[in-house]
Structure 1
């Protein structure tokens, strides 16, 4: 089976950094680290073991990683805040919503983008199917929160229609790009707020997350989780109460898990230098080939999910050495830049057997 065009030279070089992970179709669960990230992490651990590390030494690494991410999603670096988990940054957004506000969410979306709003108690959370999301936005809606790519199914939201409806009714948009950034082109400026955890398609260590804050959202959000790392002068902000927080999106920062950012700098820097549209063409092409071979409606998606309520197909593929995931009663394959047609064939062989 030959379904892929030859990658460009930059993409081919990036693919080579991942070795030969045949049968790994689980990027939607956890990405693989490129060689440069592994080497940087090992060097950092060695330096730490030699007592040759200090907290301030990580600041340039974090600054460069923030710049890489800003370039990747097309926003000014002053609009990027850092954190560790999607739910924590979603909770910051939830805390900013006025009592009684309607938050429109997607049925079956990832819980980290829904639960913080539900737990506010004072908010009205309304859930609708993804296909109905744009039409469901009306004058009651304060904020619409959704994933650009659905974790369970891989379906890509009609972001243009959602943005247009939100603008027409004055609603804010909060988009989770965790299952998109790194495989699907993302323009964070298209939304008032985005959140992205980098351990999946951006192939970074877990504990590296980003929040982008547009001008309208910046006027609403409050740094309720502000700490020393959110200070205008970080190392002069360790002790209160007289602390001046940063004037830009850094005031929403959560102090970083240092070692994770050592790997993230390398991984996100790698993706920031690639044509993400080329990666999407490759990954979604493999998704289309798999759906066609399985007799499913053809889907050009990086994530392909199909019914497997008893988990029998997942068991068969795992036994054949395929690293794949199961979600919401489905088997879920997720293709990234390192995957080839051989991975599609391996899935089909395991299912036929």
Structure 2
């Protein structure tokens, strides 16, 4: 059992795989366990989950700097990006980063039969190329190696331009302080750095961006129980009108996890996480990067780390380590011994 930032985690030493799946606090585990017990005893009602769903909406907005009334609830990032991709005009030009996570790129690539064109450029070239496209879709932090897009340069590049911007915060929200209320679309999922169950994701839509067609319109997006039967179509105002019917237990866990994260000083969390990662970089002769994700070169790095009992991932030919708030210098020492051994 580890205690970090006042929270308790039943996480083993050497767990450095948060970029794949985060480990919940004991408080989040208890909240989900209690909800499962109530459900298992026949005590759950659909409306019982509304408070947690609304709390998750508000808390995600707070963590990415977006007003809660813009935020829609979903289950996966690709599902939410797909709403935006399906609503692009025929022939639209989309800019993405090379080797971007495919939940960001595939929904746009799937529109090729309508003439939608997707261009890949190096991450560093995104701001420079942005104004030549109708939409830029990019992760704030790259999944494979933890590189950060230059948000200020991107914002400046599209200022007073018709180019829209979609940002994926999946590898950023939970450790990186952000204010993304300027972006047209902000998506993110809960099961990595937000330490929530899989099945909780969100989309924040800027009020000045074109409102996408709610091709997945459903009773929940209509505003609740008064829209469960019959026509005409009902759509709640703001982000609620793009909701998917929530994954109930995932929303319970997301609300519990994000309440804890939102109460922390994220500047301190960022300093902790990136400090551990940059210590590994320094020992390996790599430059500091200000990211909690470290891509360790070497054909056998992932094997050596796994043999030492370190939980990590193999990505793009490198071993990917991810340091979150529950990691310590002890984990860094384990990594360095494994790689030097």
- TM bin (shorter chain): over 0.9
Residue aligning to 2:107: 116
Decide which moves more: 315-324 or 105-114: 315-324
TM-score, structure 2 length as denominator?
Answer: 0.95
Q: What displacement does 1:60 show?
A: 1.4
| C-alpha separation in 1, matches of 2:34 and 2:246 | 19
Which of residues 239, 242, 252 is equivalent to 1:252? 242
Residue aligning to 1:170: 162
Which of residues 134, 144, 152 is equivalent to 1:152? 144
| C-alpha separation in 1, matches of 2:133 and 2:261 | 35
Q: Which runs of 4+ in 1 moved over 4 A?
A: none
Residue aligning to 2:284: 294
Whether the 8 Å CA contact 2:187–2:203 is kept in 1: the answer is yes
CA pair 102-289 structure 1, distance change in 2 beyond 3 A: same
Q: What displacement does 1:20 show?
A: 5.1
Residue aligning to 2:306: 318
Which of residues 70, 74, 78 is equivalent to 1:79? 70
Q: What displacement does 1:71 show?
A: 2.1
CA shift digits 1:122-180 (9 cap, x unpaired): 21111111011111123x41111100000001001101101111224321110000000
Q: What displacement does 1:308 show?
A: 3.2
Residue 135 (1) aligns with residue 123 (2): no
Which of residues 188, 191, 199 is equivalent to 1:196? 188
Residue aligning to 1:187: 179
| C-alpha separation in 1, matches of 2:226 and 2:161 | 43
Q: What displacement does 1:314 show?
A: 1.1
Which of residues 93, 98, 104 is equivalent to 2:89? 98
| C-alpha separation in 2, matches of 1:48 and 1:249 | 28
Q: Secondary structure at the match of 2:220?
A: helix
Whether the 8 Å CA contact 1:137–1:169 is kept in 2: the answer is no
Whether the 8 Å CA contact 2:301–2:318 is kept in 1: the answer is no
Q: Secondary structure at the match of 2:208?
A: helix
Whether the 8 Å CA contact 2:5–2:264 is kept in 1: the answer is no
Q: How does 1:48-63 map to 2 (within 5 A)?
A: 48-63=39-54
Whether the 8 Å CA contact 2:87–2:213 is kept in 1: the answer is yes
Q: What is the total number of aligned residue pairs between the two structures? A: 337
CA shift digits 1:59-104 (9 cap, x unpaired): 1121122122222222221111010000010000101211111111
| C-alpha separation in 2, matches of 1:59 and 1:196 | 20
Q: Which runs of 5 or more structure 1 residues have no equivalent in the other structure? A: 1-9
Q: CA RMSD in A?
A: 1.4
Q: Secondary structure at the match of 2:119?
A: strand
CA pair 104-299 structure 1, distance change in 2 beyond 3 A: same
Q: Which runs of 5 or more structure 2 residues have no equivalent in the other structure? A: none
Decide which moves more: 56-65 or 330-339: 56-65
Whether the 8 Å CA contact 2:174–2:193 is kept in 1: the answer is yes
| C-alpha separation in 2, matches of 1:50 and 1:328 | 46
Residue aligning to 1:348: 336
